[in-house]
A and B are shown apart, each in its own frame.
Chain A
Amino acid sequence: MRIVTGNDLATGDVTWWTGQGWSRHIEEAVDAGAHAEAIAREEEAARRVNGPYVIEATVTADGPRPAHIKDRIRALGPTVRPDLTLKPADPAAGSWVI
């Protein structure tokens, strides 16, 4: 699948295209298919995202998982500070990142 990611303009948070808008949670990302680049362009022009780009991801039962390690780390947070990730209370949350 092809998903679109970027950062929130005001906060810098990593965000993912959900089909209707942007979410901080990769589990809500959708396959943008052939429209991915166009979505990135339109959303950036509308200032709803900063620096969007398209990545490859695989579908899993738990949601999309980016193909590249850099985007997997972006999806959750720094591997060395579990307390600063999106799921600080779940010690197993990062098991798929590395």
Chain B
Amino acid sequence: MYRYDEYDQSIVDARVEEFRDQVQRRLSGEISEDQFKPLRLMNGLYLQLHAYMLRVAVPYGTLDGRQMRMLAHIARKYDRGYGHFTTRQNIQYNWIKLAEAPDILAELATVEMHAIQTSGNCIRNISSDQYAGAAADEVADPRPWAELIRQWSTFHPEFSYLPRKFKIAVIAADEDRAAMRLHDIGLRLVERDGVLGAEVYVGGGMGRTPMIAPLIRDFVPADDLMSYLEAALRVYNRYGRRDNIYKARIKILVHEIGADEYRRQVEEEFALVKQLGIDPPAAELARITAMFAPPALNDGGAAPDRSDPDFAIWLDRNVKPHKARGHAIVNISLKPIGGIPGDASADQIDVMAELAERYSHDELRVTHAQNIVLPHVRQGDLYAVWQTLADAGLAEANLDLVSDIIACPGLDYCSLANARSIPVAQKIAQRFADPARQRELGELKLKISGCINACGHHHAGHIGILGVDRKGTENYQLLLGGSGAEDVSLGKITGPGFSEDGVVDAIERVTDKYLEVREGAERFVDTYRRVGMEPFKEAIYG
């Protein structure tokens, strides 16, 4: 994985000291909250419902054991013993003290981590495929490109004050595991006639106006990619609306002027930008790419003994094929029944670090579904990995099942939320706790947001839930038919909303109807697409 060079390290160290000075000036009263707020946000520090919240970047979701241990250390020393992994493949701490924030950033910097650009109207953490470098269906490892974009976008002088925040995803496989087309820019690396390049999608997103990004260029050669991105951002920076926060995202610009006109403007800009020499020299690209060289995966050992039934179930559900023979990708579910989606204790974080170091070539990934991946595990080690996970309460065999719920922090933590998300997730998981029942339902992606900002990706859930405030009372709207995968679609609202318990009952009526009308091995979302909303509405509302 990528290692900082002296420039990276000096930039991050300098930023820590700059922020230390800013915090000191705020605490001494030299600057007001209005002056300080944009500065702290640029360093990932929010003021949330109960305390300051720090969002730490995990670039494209990749980290090593040393970094993971540091996350556990931060949780213990500065927070309350746990962290929350997010849908942006980052981690958040909910109980941070302002005076200690610079020390936290300084400790993070010692392991090449930071919180830069995890907030603000800039280019945020680049997201990617959690199976990058391990998936059989990728044309290339997308992470060198994600890293290049990270470097290009960090402190980019033109793009530090965009009309609104900006999210980029890079994938390189047919299967979309990163909700790529629901990003401001989604890149899918492809190969054409032996040349690596990218399909470029622009103007996707969730939030209050969900949109699927249209294809703007079906192939940008890799040699032109950074120039093309620069052009795409320039057009947005120039014409994106700054007069209305709700219309400021690039999706609104692309929608309002149309994909064809946006494309024309980007091409015009690209012709100019290409002359500037933004694209990296081959040697620099080679330097970065070399750091993502696949680990030496030799003997994978014997195929695992499946005689332990719980292990066999976990193997079938949470372990995915690796492109190297005899190896596997292990998904660690952070969704125990009745737990808080995405939360892990400091001890659990340490366990995962230890497993990565011992069994996964010192690599971990954070997924946008708020789980953790060990990307390179010998099949001969799978049983030992599972036993350790089970001892740590991390062996829930529910990947992509109804209890593998994405949920934002909601009104339990978030100052923007209108309703709580976590208790709803807990009640649904408990209602469907029977593992056999979950497996009978098959792949069913359930996603919950506590407000219209959609951090819980409710638009992209096979079943989505949106919490709203109805006259001071929590109310939950139900959506069906969304997907963030390669079959991307936006969910549709079923009808009137429900109470907290009512929405759990409604979901059960939906799943009962699904079992009644599905054909063969059809997934829930496929059945929904075939039969439409009406049978489900009938089941829900009678």
Which residues of A line the B interface, CB within 8 A?
A: 7, 9-14, 44, 47, 50-51, 67-70, 73-74, 77-81, 84
User: How many angstroms between the C-alpha atoms of A51 and B340 in the bound complex?
Assistant: 29
Of B33, B49, B340, the contact of A73 (CB 8 Å cutoff)? B49
Given contacts A10-B27, A14-B51, A44-B33, 17 further A-B contacts (CB under 8 A): A9-B26, A9-B98, A11-B97, A11-B98, A12-B50, A12-B95, A13-B50, A69-B472, A69-B473, A70-B415, A73-B412, A73-B420, A78-B50, A79-B423, A80-B420, A81-B412, A84-B80
Inter-chain contact A73/B411, CB cutoff 8 Å: yes
Inter-chain contact B29/A47, CB cutoff 8 Å: yes
23 CB < 8 A contacts A-B: A7-B51, A9-B98, A11-B51, A11-B98, A11-B99, A12-B52, A12-B95, A12-B96, A13-B50, A14-B50, A14-B51, A44-B33, A47-B29, A51-B47, A69-B411, A70-B411, A73-B412, A74-B49, A79-B412, A79-B420, A81-B340, A84-B80, A84-B95
The verdict on A68 contacting B29 (CB below 8 Å), with A7-B47, A10-B97 known, is no
Inter-chain contact B47/A12, CB cutoff 8 Å: yes
Inter-chain contact A78/B412, CB cutoff 8 Å: yes
Inter-chain contact A70/B27, CB cutoff 8 Å: no
Q: Which residues of A sit under 8 angstroms from B423, Cβ to Cβ?
A: 79-80
Q: Tell me if B422 is interfacial: C-beta within 8 Å of chain A.
A: yes
User: How many angstroms between the C-alpha atoms of A7 and B26 in the bound complex?
Assistant: 14
B55 CB, nearest partner CB in chain A, Å: 14
Of A11, A69, A80, the contact of B474 (CB 8 Å cutoff)? A69
Q: Which residues of B sit under 8 angstroms from A70, Cβ to Cβ?
A: 49, 411, 415, 417
The digit string for B415-442, where 1 denotes a CB below 8 A from any CB of A, is 1010010110010000000000000000
Q: Which residues of B sit under 8 angstroms from A73, Cβ to Cβ?
A: 49, 411-412, 420
User: How many angstroms between the C-alpha atoms of A82 and B52 in the bound complex?
Assistant: 19
Number of interface residues of B (CB under 8 A): 28
Q: Which of A73, A74, A78 has the most CB of B within 10 A?
A: A78
Of A12, A14, A78, the contact of B98 (CB 8 Å cutoff)? A12
10 nearest A-B residue pairs (beta carbon): A12-B51, A78-B412, A12-B52, A80-B422, A11-B97, A47-B29, A10-B99, A80-B412, A10-B98, A74-B49
User: How many angstroms between the C-alpha atoms of A28 and B417 in the bound complex?
Assistant: 26
Q: Which residues of B sit under 8 angstroms from A68, Cβ to Cβ?
A: 472
Q: Which residues of B sit under 8 angstroms from A69, Cβ to Cβ?
A: 411, 472-474
Q: Which residues of B sit under 8 angstroms from A47, Cβ to Cβ?
A: 29
Inter-chain contact A67/B472, CB cutoff 8 Å: yes
Q: Tell me if B413 is interfacial: C-beta within 8 Å of chain A.
A: yes
* Beta-carbon contacts under 8 Å, B68-104 to A: 80, 95-99
Inter-chain contact A80/B47, CB cutoff 8 Å: no
User: How many angstroms between the C-alpha atoms of A4 and B364 in the bound complex?
Assistant: 45
Of B50, B98, B474, the contact of A74 (CB 8 Å cutoff)? B50
User: How many angstroms between the C-alpha atoms of A70 and B467 in the bound complex?
Assistant: 13
A70 CB, nearest partner CB in chain B, Å: 6
Using CB atoms, name the residue of chain A closest to B51: A12
User: How many angstroms between the C-alpha atoms of A81 and B79 in the bound complex?
Assistant: 14
Using CB atoms, name the residue of chain A closest to B412: A78
B29 CB, nearest partner CB in chain A, Å: 5
Inter-chain contact B33/A51, CB cutoff 8 Å: yes
Q: Which residues of B sit under 8 angstroms from A12, Cβ to Cβ?
A: 47, 50-52, 95-98
Using CB atoms, name the residue of chain B closest to A74: B49
Inter-chain contact A78/B413, CB cutoff 8 Å: yes
User: How many angstroms between the C-alpha atoms of A68 and B96 in the bound complex?
Assistant: 25
User: How many angstroms between the C-alpha atoms of A51 and B423 in the bound complex?
Assistant: 28
User: How many angstroms between the C-alpha atoms of A10 and B98 in the bound complex?
Assistant: 5
Inter-chain contact A50/B50, CB cutoff 8 Å: no
A33 CB, nearest partner CB in chain B, Å: 22
Q: Which residues of B sit under 8 angstroms from A13, Cβ to Cβ?
A: 50-51
A96 CB, nearest partner CB in chain B, Å: 15
Inter-chain contact A50/B411, CB cutoff 8 Å: no
* Beta-carbon contacts under 8 Å, B39-66 to A: 47, 49-52
User: How many angstroms between the C-alpha atoms of A74 and B95 in the bound complex?
Assistant: 13
The digit string for B20-36, where 1 denotes a CB below 8 A from any CB of A, is 00000011010001000
A64 CB, nearest partner CB in chain B, Å: 16
Q: Which residues of A sit under 8 angstroms from B473, Cβ to Cβ?
A: 69
User: How many angstroms between the C-alpha atoms of A44 and B29 in the bound complex?
Assistant: 10
A39 CB, nearest partner CB in chain B, Å: 17
User: How many angstroms between the C-alpha atoms of A7 and B415 in the bound complex?
Assistant: 12
Q: Which residues of A sit under 8 angstroms from B412, Cβ to Cβ?
A: 73, 78-81
A46 CB, nearest partner CB in chain B, Å: 9
Q: Which residues of A sit under 8 angstroms from B27, Cβ to Cβ?
A: 9-10
B269 CB, nearest partner CB in chain A, Å: 40
B423 CB, nearest partner CB in chain A, Å: 6
A79 CB, nearest partner CB in chain B, Å: 6
User: How many angstroms between the C-alpha atoms of A79 and B95 in the bound complex?
Assistant: 15
A22 CB, nearest partner CB in chain B, Å: 15
User: How many angstroms between the C-alpha atoms of A44 and B33 in the bound complex?
Assistant: 9
Using CB atoms, name the residue of chain A closest to B101: A12
Inter-chain contact B33/A50, CB cutoff 8 Å: yes
B474 CB, nearest partner CB in chain A, Å: 7
User: How many angstroms between the C-alpha atoms of A79 and B420 in the bound complex?
Assistant: 9
Inter-chain contact B47/A50, CB cutoff 8 Å: yes
User: How many angstroms between the C-alpha atoms of A73 and B423 in the bound complex?
Assistant: 13
Q: Which residues of B sit under 8 angstroms from A81, Cβ to Cβ?
A: 340, 412
Q: Which residues of B sit under 8 angstroms from A7, Cβ to Cβ?
A: 47, 51
Using CB atoms, name the residue of chain B closest to A50: B33
